[in-house]
Amino acid sequence: MTKKEVKKATTNEEQVEISIEQKLEALYTLQQVDSKIDKIRAYRGELPLEVQDLEDEVAGLETRIGNLQEDAKKLASEIANYKIRIKEAEALIKKYEEQQNNVRNNREYESISKEIEYQQLDITLCEKRIKEATAKTEEITAKIAAAQQRLEERKADLAAKKEELQSIIEDTQKEEEALLKRSSECEGMIEERLLVAYKRIRKNARNGLAVVGINRDACGGCFNKIPPQHQLDICTHKKIIVCEYCGRILVDKEIIDNYKE
């Protein structure tokens, strides 16, 4: 191999080393930025979820009240129809009673009597249905009142929670926006495959740490000892090394020291 070829190979190797080092620095920076975002969101606590739950409950109560009101309208319509049937039956009974006065024989009289009896039974049935519908209406009215009271309480709770959440968001919004922007910039420096792995590790890690340093010859995530050869590989920045126990990406002190707030 000529001197020129050796020089070219060395240069290419250095470029690979620099590329890996830059990726490691970007990964560590991304981890630090994401951890700060996690702290901001942890500061908000369960408020966003509580707000969402309250919004869902308010929507559910409004739907329930709407359905109950529709049921009440249907019952009111049924009651009105039964009352009309009663009036119609009473008019028929009056008509049949008048006809009874002009019958020519017992057969006609009995036939008209049966018609009168049928209308009277229909009136009795309608009155029974009106009582049942009225009882249901009273029950629904009570349910609407209870749901309405609950709705007002939940709306008040929701307004208070939203105000509390908004106050916290306003306190941290600018910082979070700056961190999200920096997080996006770091992600742009990391290849897709590596970024997917980073996010997967972060999701599975209880503390959200996917990139950790070496502390006293041990992984900064799971605290298991790292073999000397692996430590040497980590320090050379020639490839991405992960902990054989927890799968976290490992970086050395130099990468950590190069991190800038």
* Interval 206-249: pLDDT, tens: 889 999 999 999 999 999 999 999 899 999 988 899 999 999 99
* Interval 100-128: pLDDT, tens: 888 888 898 999 999 999 999 999 999 99
What is the average pLDDT value for the chain, to the nearest integer?
Answer: 89
Q: Is residue 61 pLDDT above 50, yes or no?
A: yes
- Return the minimum-mean-pLDDT range out of 11-15, 85-89, 147-151, 254-258: 11-15
Q: What pLDDT shows up at residue 15?
A: 39
pTM of the predicted protein model? 0.57
Dihedral angle computed from the Cα positions of residues 118, 122, 124 and 130, in that order, rounded to the nearest 10 degrees: 180
CA distance 51 to 55: 6
Q: What percent of the chain has pLDDT over 70?
A: 93
Instruction: With cut-offs at 50, 70 and 90, classify the pLDDT of residue 199.
Output: very high
CB-neighbour burial class of residue 64 (10 A; exposed 0-12, middle 13-18, buried 19+): middle
What CATH fold (topology level) applies to the domain 47-179?
Helix Hairpins (1.10.287)
- Return the minimum-mean-pLDDT range out of 44-48, 93-97, 180-184: 44-48
* Interval 146-168: pLDDT, tens: 999 999 999 999 999 999 999 88
- SS3 call for 137: helix
Q: Is residue 9 pLDDT above 50, yes or no?
A: no
Q: Which residues of the chain form CATH 1.10.287.1490?
A: 47-179
Tokens linked to 186 = 């770091």
